[in-house]
Amino acid sequence: MIKVGDRLPDVQFNVPGSEGMKQMRTGDVFAGKTVALFAVPGAFTPTCSARHLPSFREHLAEFKAKGIDTVACTAVNDHFVMGAWAKDQNVVDQILMLSDGSADFAKATGLDADFSKFGMGARSKRYSMIVKDGVVSQLHVEEAGEYKVSSAEYLLAQLG
């Protein structure tokens, strides 16, 4: 599993936005920026929709005030689902939605999880991280079934 001090792997994301889908590589998202990245097991799932994404939406200004250039969300969902979820959650062009449809990023970071027993297949673990110029400076991975250390509130507290 990726750890603090490691550089993020080079993968491609499909990114929905108000002007349609665009392809972005890891470097396009993280190079030269400080990014608060959080991952959810799935768009439109209960905790992800009711608590996780809304926590970041509600605290966007605080992240910006603490030097965060971009807040980004990743999930193992296709860009159509991520785009629809962004519209549903009112975060289009506010939170960068990084579609990891084939779980390439999740697997390359070692943050993938098998949700087959729930009928969901390969997914991402729930986590949050701070990435500075492509290098992980903080990483907070949830235990299975938990929602604590990946919240916006927890991550903001770690930023001081």
pLDDT in tens, 19-30: 999 999 999 999
Name the more confident of 115 and 35.
35
Please determine, for residue 120, whether its predicted confidence score (pLDDT) is greater than 80: no
Instruction: Supply the pLDDT for residue 50.
Output: 83
| Tens of pLDDT, residues 95-106 | 999 999 999 999
Please give the pLDDT value at position 80. 96
Say whether 48 is catalytic: yes
Q: Which CATH architecture has domain 12-159?
A: 3-Layer(aba) Sandwich (3.40)
Mean pLDDT value across residues 33-40: 98
| Averaged pLDDT of the chain | 94
Confidence category of residue 119, pLDDT binned at 50, 70, 90:
low
48, 97, 131, 155: the catalytic one is 48
pLDDT of 116 > 90? The answer is no
The share of the chain scoring above pLDDT 70, in percent, equals: 99
Q: What is the pTM of this model?
A: 0.95
3-state SS, the chain, equals CCCCCCECCCCEEEEEECCEEEEEEHHHHHCCCEEEEEECCCCCCHHHHHHHHHHHHHCHHHHHHCCCCEEEEEECCCHHHHHHHHHHCCCCCCCEEEECCCCHHHHHHCCEEECHHHCCCEEECCEEEEEECCEEEEEEECCCCCCCCCCHHHHHHHHC
Mean pLDDT of 113-132: 86
Average confidence (pLDDT) over 44-59: 90
Q: What is the mean pLDDT of residues 28-36?
A: 98
> Residues 68-109: pLDDT tens digits?
999 999 999 999 999 999 999 999 999 999 999 999 999 999
